[in-house]
Amino acid sequence: MAARNDSSSLAAPAAGGGSAPATVPVLDRAAMLEIVEQDLELLRELVEIFLAECPGLLAQIRSGVQDKNAEHVERSAHTLKGALMNFGAQRACEVARQLEIRGREARLDDAAQLASQLESEVAQACQALSDYLREAVP
């Protein structure tokens, strides 16, 4: 099934003090549809894979932060960032990127705060993806 030509993006509500500016969209629909070549069935399948993988990756990040395991944080945040990129989930992607950098540089001072923010951004991205699919694939 091909996507309709919808280039709109879903902007996030203003977030206080976060790493991703509020002007960055939760979901860049145009980018997402370009990546799946307008194939909504493929998009649905990829979203299902993402929704299944996401809790495990967030749990790995949480445990890496708790254990102060910088390498673990870097690797899990990197994998999650890569998956988020496929959906144009820019806000969540930016926070994952910040966490990946913290892990790489072994600077985990504010990692717990970033991990919480990431969970919130990912939840918004998942909701936006579900909403879009419900809207676009009746």
Partner 1 sequence: MNILVADDDRVQSRLLEKHLAARGFKVQVAFDAASAWEKLAKVRPDAILLDLQMPGGTGLGFLKKRNASPSHRNIPVIVITATEDPLVLRMAEQSGVTSVMPKPVNLMLLDVTLESVRSSMSPKPAMSPGE
> Given the rule CB under 8 A, which residues bind partner 1?
31, 35-37, 42, 45-46, 49-50, 52-53, 75, 78-79, 81-83, 85-86, 97, 104
Question: DSSP character for 2?
Answer: B
Write down the least CB distance from residue 68 to partner 1, Å.
Answer: 20
Q: What are phi and psi of 63, to 5 degrees?
A: -70, -35
**Residue entry with tokens 């969540």:** 92
Residues with Cβ < 8 Å from 59, sequence gap 6 or more? none
Minimum CB distance to partner 1 smaller for 45 or for 110: 45
Minimum CB distance to partner 1 smaller for 81 or for 102: 81
The rounded distance, in Å, linking the Cα atoms of 125 and 121 is 6
Minimum CB distance to partner 1 smaller for 49 or for 123: 49
Write down the least CB distance from residue 12 to partner 1, Å.
Answer: 20
Minimum CB distance to partner 1 smaller for 14 or for 52: 52
Q: Where are the beta strands (DSSP E) in the chain?
A: 9-11, 25-28
Write down the least CB distance from residue 109 to partner 1, Å.
Answer: 20
Write down the least CB distance from residue 76 to partner 1, Å.
Answer: 10
- Count CB atoms within 10 A of the CB of residue 117: 22
Q: Where are the beta strands (DSSP E) in 9-123?
A: 9-11, 25-28
